[in-house]
Amino acid sequence: MEASNFPYDVTDVESQVSNEIFKATKPLPLVYVGPKRYIFPEMYKEWGPQFYNMEIRPDDIFLVGFPRSGTTLCQEIIWLLNNNLDYKKAKSIPVGERVPLMDFSLVAFGGETFKNNNSPVLQKLEPYVHKLRTAPSPRFIKSHLPLSLLPPKLLDNNKVVYIARDPRDAAVSLYHLMELKYLKQGTSFKEFWNNFIAGRCVVCPVQSHIREGWEKRNNPNLLFLSYNELTRDFPSTLKRMATFFNKEYTNDQIDELCGHLSFDNFKNNESVNRSSTYHKLGYVNNENPFIRKGKAGGWREYFDDEMTKEADRWISEHFTDIDLGIDPK
């Protein structure tokens, strides 16, 4: 796809910033994208225009959210609600194939590290954005890109679910996902958090990402959800999601779906927990699984008093008008 079809400037991130973000022996080359200066691996130069200009179909359903915001849970929900709660089929096909992350190669691996890797696992996963071109309809598509970097006419006709999570919880979860693969051994969460709120982390700034979703909340084709809301009241949120997709399910069916999605069942469901794939890629291990705790407010276990006060100020500055369903206690 020609760069002329892409409206945003893409510039290289300074090497010292890249070194600070990853604190690794060989930091990934990074780029800033657009006026909000979203950070992505430098392969965005190649992939970004393809995502922005991808051909969408009227019956495509998109799931969008910042990494570690409950998107895996929403993948399962969205697919089941739109496939007559076919649990048998859902368990037989990995959720990453039923609802592929189209920018997987970009946000999960980044740059030449991914492009030149001969791992059979990577070779199988890399072409998802290309596979979508010939995938049968309806297509269910997940993305960690902000709305502004997705096809500009997406909300004209397509259903989009945007899931947002308390950034403190998202940061904790992202830290654990990155620490084995990308962070220098011994990097503290406090160091990571300071970079995170400064926008010096992949897919950040998170406040801009979430605000883009929030500002479209009144569009009838977008459903804005908070992870806290979803996990606090599964039945009501699932009914709301079903209505959004023009689906009707009985209370008993919703209760059954709640059981299927309960944390213990979800964590042990091989079609969603991705343990095999992510173990092979070195992102997780037995002590640090892909699906960790699945609860809201877990950030409190990682923040000292100073960090908590600083985080309160940061949340107040950027999210006062955004309903993240955060429990004030």
On the question of pLDDT at 163 being above 90, the answer is: yes
Q: Residue 136: which pLDDT band, with cuts at 50, 70 and 90?
A: very high
Decide if 209 contacts 191 (C-beta within 8 A). Answer: no
Angle between helices 206-215 and 305-319 (to 10 degrees): 40
CB atoms within 10 A of CB 224: 20
pLDDT (0 to 100) of residue 327: 67
55-319 homologous superfamily: P-loop containing nucleotide triphosphate hydrolases (3.40.50.300)
Q: Residue 43: which pLDDT band, with cuts at 50, 70 and 90?
A: confident
Q: Residue 183: which pLDDT band, with cuts at 50, 70 and 90?
A: confident
pLDDT (0 to 100) of residue 25: 53
Mean confidence (pLDDT) of the chain: 85
Tell me the pTM.
0.89
The per-residue pLDDT for range 91-105, each reduced to its tens digit, is 999 998 899 999 887
Q: Residue 272: which pLDDT band, with cuts at 50, 70 and 90?
A: low
